[in-house]
Structure 1
């Protein structure tokens, strides 16, 4: 991870490196130019030193000739040594353009030194006239040396004229180059600074936008920040917070939905009870009347009427139970038979009931008043409208993990709209002489009771009857949860 502090240090180091590079380049060029100037100046000084040394030698010779002492002779020898040293320095200035002139120049210096030695020797031999003549010759040679020095200087000036001009041109080009370098570096630093600032401000803007989205309650959008510094860590923390809040909201909504379903279940049960109670007028008084009529019919020899009254009393007593309590499939089958006995007395030979029941499956738990409304629906829509009547088949079989309960009729069938409405639990008004418990109500209570959606199938078509299949789990989900809680 590249931190913001490291980015700032990188920018500072880059600026310092560029400044140091420019300073080193300018220092190197200035030093090189200065060295070239010093070299040329040293050439001129060496030539001028030869002229000064030759004059000093002639002057020392004159003093010695006038006063021939050991001190003046020593001074003359020192002047000669200086002239020889100056001659050696000038010898190093030889090049292709001054070769001939410099050779003559060196010869003149040798001639001056030789003439000086002869003048001293003549003086020591007391040949004054010869000594004076050689002194005059030495003086003339010294003047030649001075003139030759000027000539050599002129040659040097002509030789280095182009160099001077090139230095001036280089200085001008360097000035232009410096301006371009300054502009380029300025432009580059501006670009780099813009990129550098953007690498900091862009993640901050992205993080600010994400925070605004969170403030608006949009917790489903993922927080994405393109950064490799501390802002990335901050964005990751924000993303974790968003996920935790989103999960918390999901849990709250889930709990609210479950509470709503529970409340809906309570209202549904209350509604079913109220619809069932609409037909109740003093139930115990009604049961007593039915029992009295049943006994009276039996005493009068009307056994069929007595059995019918017993079935009616049993059916009413079962319907008045609380619907929120589970019953066994055995109870539902028993009530269904009582209901069919009453309907058989009504329709006589028009109603035919066929049952195929596996007795081992009758212990399974089921909501109260589940089977009767389905059979009642078949009686109302398949038997009652038909003059010839029809057959209702009830089958209970073992389906492995569930008990398969099938109610089929051979009536005119059910429309697709009604079939879909029942499966989608839309409220359907009870038709005919029903007990008041609608088919959609049965479907809703089954799904709430078992906690699964795939608990019922309806197969129907125009003219081919209706086949209702209930898949009743042998073990309820709530029972498993209770067992797990007990084990925990």
Structure 2
């Protein structure tokens, strides 16, 4: 079997990235062109608006300059001649600023040249009048001529505004139309290359699927025991060449091992198969029993809890309600998350505390809980819902109708086991009733139970998990309360199993 020239082939990843980069490059170029056109339109619009504002200010300054000069001629106050000269400078600056922009339009350029000539003549007339000093026949004629000239200038300024506004509107419309045409061209280009890229992608996908199908067909023949199937041939994809090489190598190795195994005794093979089948059946039976015991949950508890939350929301502030909701959510999450696992003892205790908080809220001062948790229990794993059913039994059978009820939970780690003690000061249970509780059918729903689990269920689950009997002991007398001891066995000082094992 020869090795393929893998290094000389292009990978599928390279081909896909090439198509992706091509599409992105086209999109980027299109975006840059569109962005550039938008900037051009914006700048053109801003320039036109600025020029229109300058033209409007020009007309205002022409009137202002003539008014200032008239007032100076009447009363000879220096303030007015200064105002006139300021306006004159402003007009000169405006004409200089708008000169290049306005001359882009032929008609507007004509008005601007006329306005510039009239402004020069206005400066000449005002200079001659100021040289004369007082009013005489000569200066009076000049003043009338200046006023007439000012009217012409104002009229030309208005015509210049109108002319340039028409030009700027037409120019802006032309640019906008060109931008729309470019955008349409960009859209067509993107659409075209999108179809082309899609076509390449389809061709690449079909080619890849064809080669996968061939490889799968060879694998299927191998699975059927046809060890003489032909080697997968070389192709143009680097990844498929690697897979083909690995497949061919695997096929040869399997064929070699099959030939080696054929020398073994047929009787031994049959015995091993039967043994494996029996072990698997036993394992499946134990797992099915365990899952059947572990997946029971009665929705009655949900409705009780919601009723408690509703009453609390009516009569208390929202804080208690939030705590109840959090406790309920914790229990629900715990039930939904650990159907198929062992859980840490710490998590079981945390969920039990949430359940205890709900019951304390439900019964107010009628029932209290006390937790005494020892150290070094963080590595202990137990079946989920081990402690809560026992506490439920204590409430239902011992404390539900009793004032000042109390449940104490003690957990200590000792040599060889962890001891869990659940003690209540309830009315106790007779031996006959206790026997019935242990013998209750685990599949029957029990009124008042949130989990649908009883002591018998807990006992069976512990025995199935640890493979040890007599892990629960109950000491109860009528009128004297109940003590339940649970022993979690340790193997060489460590837990039998961890949560990760499941």
TM interval, shorter chain, is: 0.3 to 0.5
What is the TM-score of this pair, normalised by structure 1?
0.44
Q: Who wins on radius of gyration, i.e. which is larger? A: 1
Q: Which has the higher contact order (CA 8 A, sep 6+)?
A: 2
What is the TM-score of this pair, normalised by structure 2?
0.43
